[in-house]
Amino acid sequence: MLEVSNLACSRGDHRLFSGLSFALHPGQIMQVQGANGSGKTSLLRTLCGFMMPDEGDIAWRGNNIRDLDDDYHAEMLYLGHLNAIKDELTALENLRISAGLSGVEINEKEAVAALRRMGLRGREMLPVKVLSQGQRRRVALARLLVADARLWILDEPLTALDVGAVTLIQELIAEHLAQQGMIIFTTHQPLQVAGVEMSSLSLS
């Protein structure tokens, strides 16, 4: 589980938040709320280990994530504002490469199945540059299906998605939580998952 204690973070001279403490247990989901610029993305990036917090500790299974490093990275998945996909590569190549980077090798069949579930049937072999914004986001989100991670850190996962895709994401979240996964995410759109109690964290 993920434990955050007394976390403080700043950008330049501006203090974004301080004294932030929370814990995320298996099967739990937490929404980070706050206005633009309140530090939601900074919090998530700090949780990934990209940024050093000014103060406080982030612990995964009781150990500091700085000490765990790669062992922590093997158990988490981060989806940021940027899709991390290449325009020149096909959806299939993109998915297989990003799965490889996150430490799992998937064969073509598994990748195609994941892309089809994301509603990209018939688009698997197209270079990503001909796809729409929403379809690109779907390619990026297909990583959730193939990665083998306990903790999902999702920054605005619903950007550019249509109603059908949002429903799909809700399903994925419910499945992940049912398998004792953990999710921390931000969104400005309403996201309800049936039968799941969502805790929330407000940054101001």
**What residues make contact with other proteins under the rule CB under 8 A?**
48-52, 70-71, 73-74, 76, 78, 80-89, 93, 97-98, 100-106, 110, 146, 148
Closest distance of CB 100 from other proteins, Å:
5
Closest distance of CB 109 from other proteins, Å:
12
Closest distance of CB 103 from other proteins, Å:
4
Which of residues 44 and 118 has its CB atom nearest to other proteins in the complex? 44
Closest distance of CB 137 from other proteins, Å:
12
Hey, how many other C-beta atoms are within 10 angstroms of the C-beta on 150? 19
Q: What angle do CA 192, 26, 179 make, to 5 degrees?
A: 75
Residue 22's region, left for phi above 0, alpha for psi from -120 to 50, else beta, is beta
Dihedral angle computed from the Cα positions of residues 85, 86, 91 and 93, in that order, rounded to the nearest 10 degrees: -100
Which is nearest to 113 in space by CA: 127, 99, 131, 128? 99
Residue 124 DSSP one-character state: T
3-state secondary structure of 24: strand
Which of residues 69 and 171 has its CB atom nearest to other proteins in the complex? 69
Cβ contacts of 88 within 8 Å, gap of 6 or more: 127, 128, 129
Closest distance of CB 49 from other proteins, Å:
8
Closest distance of CB 90 from other proteins, Å:
10
Which of residues 84 and 193 has its CB atom nearest to other proteins in the complex? 84
Which of residues 146 and 203 has its CB atom nearest to other proteins in the complex? 146
- How far is residue 191 from each of residues 124, 166, 185, measured CA to CA in Å? 28, 8, 10
What are the structure tokens assigned to 182, written together?
A: 């953990």
Which of residues 26 and 103 has its CB atom nearest to other proteins in the complex? 103
Which of residues 57 and 93 has its CB atom nearest to other proteins in the complex? 93
